[in-house]
Amino acid sequence: MSGTASDPSARLELPAAHGGASAPRGPSASRAFSLPGQWLPPLAAVLGAAAYALISHSWHDAAVDRLLFALLVAALCGLLARGAAELAALRQLEQGIHNAREGLLTPTAERGLGWTSVGRLIPEHNTTVSALAMMFRTVEECQTRFLDERNRLNAILQSTPGALLGINDDLSVAIANRRAEALFGGAGTGPNAPGGLAGKGLFDLLVPDERGRNMLRDAFLYKQELHDHEIELEVGGAARAFVVNLAFYTDDQDDDIGGVMILQDVTERRQLMQTVAMREKLVAMGQLAAGVAHELNTPLGNILGYAQLLKQEVAERPKLAGYADVIATQSQRASRVVQDLLAYARKDQCSGETCDVNAVVHELIEAFIHCRLRRYGIEVDLRLATETLLAEGGCGEVDIVLTNVISNAIQALARTPEPRIGLATWREGDTVAIAVADNGPGVPAEARRRLFDPFFSTKEVGQGSGLGLFISQALVTRRGGRIDFDAAHAPGARFIIRLPAVEPERVAVRAAA
């Protein structure tokens, strides 16, 4: 590897060892250190024989005996010197082996003992130690690279904006990133802490609708990949839209097929797309209103006028008078639709006016009481704020919106035993809120998503145009507010109108200026 060329141990001479014999070394450095050691046993033998000859001159009468004993002493001294050298080399090798066992992979010095039988093993030991050191460095580098790569991949997975789930073949969760933990397992400590999703069943975490459950079941059953499929899941008790991508992989060890699922929350994007689609509808409706409303008013007025004249002419013939009355009624209904379209298409310029919400509610309820509420026996419950509530813009559009919402409430109470309508106003942050509630049958769940769509109505045919809430929402949205349906209200239905608020003090200062 590239990192081992500069290491000191990499510059050691690595003799090729085969069968325990080392390869011959060069005559330079090796001979300079080993020649003196090789002559130690002969030198010890010579010195021992000479010393014996000096001290044993009087011990032997025959010269032959003296020579034989001198040779014996020389051999014994040579053997002792050789044994001491072998023992020293053995201790040196033992120390090197001990160091290697303790993890200190450094070469062992020969110390001039390379000529001994044990000393010849020291270079082999150094070769083995050097190879082990290189191997351990390689393993350490691989381990470092593996940890770095694992941390990099983990950082990528954890930073993924979508919820990532690794699924085992038995549909249990193997891994999950932080986004998945936040969506389906919570955060912090305890069973829902990060990592708490591992081992849980996939369908214990995901609560899809029927279509989504069937799609996921078939995908895992037949190992079919999913690409940008949209499903709805229940998260935190509310339905949210997700785009799901699913891929599969095979585990080579046990041949299990696992899956990787990425869930991207697209609820806000879907709402934005719906808002854009609604705005496109509003633009189309505005163009339609501007284009045909004036053209329709003239023929409708003629039809209504001639129907009233016809009714007067045939007053003595009830059947024909009834037909004329139907013509007049339907003409008036068509005229109201045209007026609603004109009200939407009309773009008021910024006038700087403000509207006293409580005053508008009082005036409108007085008109309704004298006209319709008293006739139908509907009780009115007013809970208006004690302080002055001012909203941006004139009161004309607020009157139109409240009229539409209250009219819908009156029609919804047609078959209610004790009909009641409640109106309340309050300050809510930077907005003024107006609530209109009734105790009627309420709005069916399947119709709530389309309440503000044009030409959608829950009333019987001929009872409504389906434009009241649509135009009301358009008028309020144009002023920076909105109309919300309160699904939690029961019994009956409740609509909350929110309008941008204006501080009375600022209005007073501007008036004084």
User: How far, in Å, CA of 171 to CA of 194, rounded?
Assistant: 19
Question: How many C-beta atoms surround the C-beta of residue 283 within 10 A?
Answer: 10
Mean pLDDT confidence for 71-79: 80
Q: Is the pLDDT of residue 437 over 50?
A: yes
Residue that has been written with the tokens 């996921």 in this structure: 216
User: How far, in Å, CA of 303 to CA of 185, rounded?
Assistant: 66
Helix (H) or strand (E) holding 356: strand 354-356
pLDDT tens profile 465-497: 567 787 788 888 888 889 999 888 888 899 999
Q: Which residue has the higher pLDDT, 282 or 13?
A: 282
- Cβ distance 485 to 451 under 8 Å? yes
What residue spans of 348-456 are helical by DSSP H? 357-368, 374-376, 395-412
Q: Which two tokens stand for residue 67?
A: 């020579």
| Maximum mean pLDDT: which of 39-43, 234-238, 264-268, 493-497 | 493-497
Q: 44 falls in which pLDDT band (50, 70, 90)?
A: confident
User: How far, in Å, CA of 442 to CA of 436, rounded?
Assistant: 13
Number of H-type helices and E-type strands within the chain: 14, 12
Q: Hey, where are the domains in the chain?
A: 2-142, 160-265, 269-347, 349-513
Q: Is the pLDDT of residue 167 over 80?
A: yes
- Cβ distance 392 to 431 under 8 Å? no
User: How far, in Å, CA of 494 to CA of 433, rounded?
Assistant: 12
Question: How many C-beta atoms surround the C-beta of residue 428 within 10 A?
Answer: 11
Please give the pLDDT value at position 253. 62
Please give the pLDDT value at position 438. 92
- CATH fold of 160-265: Beta-Lactamase (3.30.450)
User: How far, in Å, CA of 251 to CA of 453, rounded?
Assistant: 51
Please give the pLDDT value at position 62. 63
Please give the pLDDT value at position 3. 40
Q: Which residue has the higher pLDDT, 369 or 386?
A: 386
Share of the chain above pLDDT 70, in %: 76
Q: Is the pLDDT of residue 511 over 60?
A: no
User: What is the number of residues in the chain?
Assistant: 513
Same fold yes or no, 160-265 and 349-513: no
Please give the pLDDT value at position 7. 42
pLDDT tens profile 53-66: 667 666 766 666 66
Please give the pLDDT value at position 5. 39
Helices 40-55 & 63-101 angle (0-180, nearest 10): 140
User: How far, in Å, CA of 365 to CA of 425, rounded?
Assistant: 14
Phi, psi of 116 (to 5 degrees): -80, 165
pLDDT tens profile 91-142: 888 888 888 888 888 888 887 777 888 888 888 888 888 998 899 899 999 9
Q: 193 falls in which pLDDT band (50, 70, 90)?
A: very low
Q: Is the pLDDT of residue 433 over 90?
A: yes
Q: DSSP character for 203?
A: H
- CATH fold of 349-513: Heat Shock Protein 90 (3.30.565)
- For the ranges 97-101, 253-257, 264-268, 477-481, the lowest mean pLDDT is seen at 253-257
Q: Name the average pLDDT for the chain.
A: 77
pTM: 0.44
Q: 507 falls in which pLDDT band (50, 70, 90)?
A: low
Q: Is the pLDDT of residue 186 over 80?
A: no
Question: How many C-beta atoms surround the C-beta of residue 490 within 10 A?
Answer: 10
Q: Which residue has the higher pLDDT, 284 or 487?
A: 487
pLDDT tens profile 142-159: 999 999 998 888 888 888
Q: Left if phi > 0, otherwise alpha if psi is -120 to 50, otherwise beta: which for 177?
A: beta
